[in-house]
Amino acid sequence: MVSGTQLMEKVLFKIAKQWIAGNTIDDALTSAKNAYQSGRHAIVNKLGEYHTSKKQITTTVNEYQKIINSFRKWKIRGAVSVKPTQIGLSISQKECYRNFEKIILNARNAHVFVWLDMESSEHTDETIEIYNKFFSKYERLGIALQANLKRTEDDLIDLLRIGAKIRLVKGAYREKASISFKSKEDVDKNFVKLMKILFKKGNEFGIASHDGKIIKKAENLSKKYPKKFEFQMLKGIRDELKPKLIKKKFVVSDYIPYGVNWLPYSIRRIKERKRNILLLGSSLIQS
């Protein structure tokens, strides 16, 4: 007999499949190839964070290496996106640096772009430190910055001074009111402010949002400031908009997560949108 938890997980997996490539590295590579054949670039991320098991960390690092090598072999325009706490930051900075260095050396040989995801605010300083250290060794390295944090404007200006490559996001983590903007209106306002700084002073950046109003504003800014940038969106979200942007000659990247740790990621996506909560409800009723 199927228990309530098993049923819930089965239904969630059915919904989650639109946002994740699947459980395995092969699923991720197939998804990246499909994105590429549809005119999009791929940014692959292995799901999972806060790893403290050295075995799990080694597997994660090895898989990023394999993805990088496959991109090189298949000549796919792709990147990997790494969370510091999945490659050792939860053990020590030294462990994280040692592992990130392996990824960076491999990426440098293969000419593959590497992104550093930004996690919750307790890791912001450490993530920027990692970026500063490795950007001096490899230029095809980018870092995500979150518009919901009050500190981000200063971080952005500092990072742009060294020519950093930025992915601007709204921010996926719940943060204290003392350090963050809480309302959607304030986060959106700050996103637009930071995006203007990026168009004026940055280059090779990513506007990572599904928000139609923000995307329109970016399109307009790009007419005034013709910079090298791309729109980045999560796999399975705003799929109707992506070909339209490509037709207008914008670069669009799909962020493609994979791995067995799909549940927290998918719950985040469900909570983001009322329609997805309704979809979950109706799927449960039908099961």
Helix (H) or strand (E) holding 230: strand 229-234
The nearest distance, CB 268 to ligand FAD, in angstroms, is 7
d(CA 119, CA 144): 9
Query: Quick one: tokens of 73?
Result: 């072999």
* C-alpha 238 chain-centroid distance: 15
Select the span of 132-140, 150-158, 170-178, 241-249 touching ligand FAD (CB under 6 A).
170-178
State the binding string over 35-74 for ligand FAD (x if CB under 6 A, else -). ----------------------------------------
The nearest distance, CB 188 to ligand FAD, in angstroms, is 7
Is residue 117 near ligand FAD by the rule CB under 6 A?
A: yes
The nearest distance, CB 172 to ligand FAD, in angstroms, is 4
CB 105 within 8 A of CB 87: no
Query: Quick one: tokens of 145?
Result: 């910055």
Identify whether 117 is a catalytic site residue. Answer: yes
Residue 43 vs 104, nearer CB to ligand FAD: 43
The nearest distance, CB 253 to ligand FAD, in angstroms, is 7
Is residue 139 near ligand FAD by the rule CB under 6 A?
A: no
Query: DSSP secondary structure string, 57-73?
Result: HHHHHHHHHHHHHHHHH
Residue of 233, 252, 256, 280 that binds ligand FAD (CB under 6 A): 233
d(CA 262, CA 97): 26
59-86 as b/e, with b when 16 or more CB fall inside 10 Å? bbbebbbebbebbbeeebebbbbbbbbb
Window 23 to 42, contacts with ligand FAD (CB under 6 A)? none
Which residue among 40, 117, 254, 269 is the active-site one?
Answer: 117
Active site residues: 117, 167
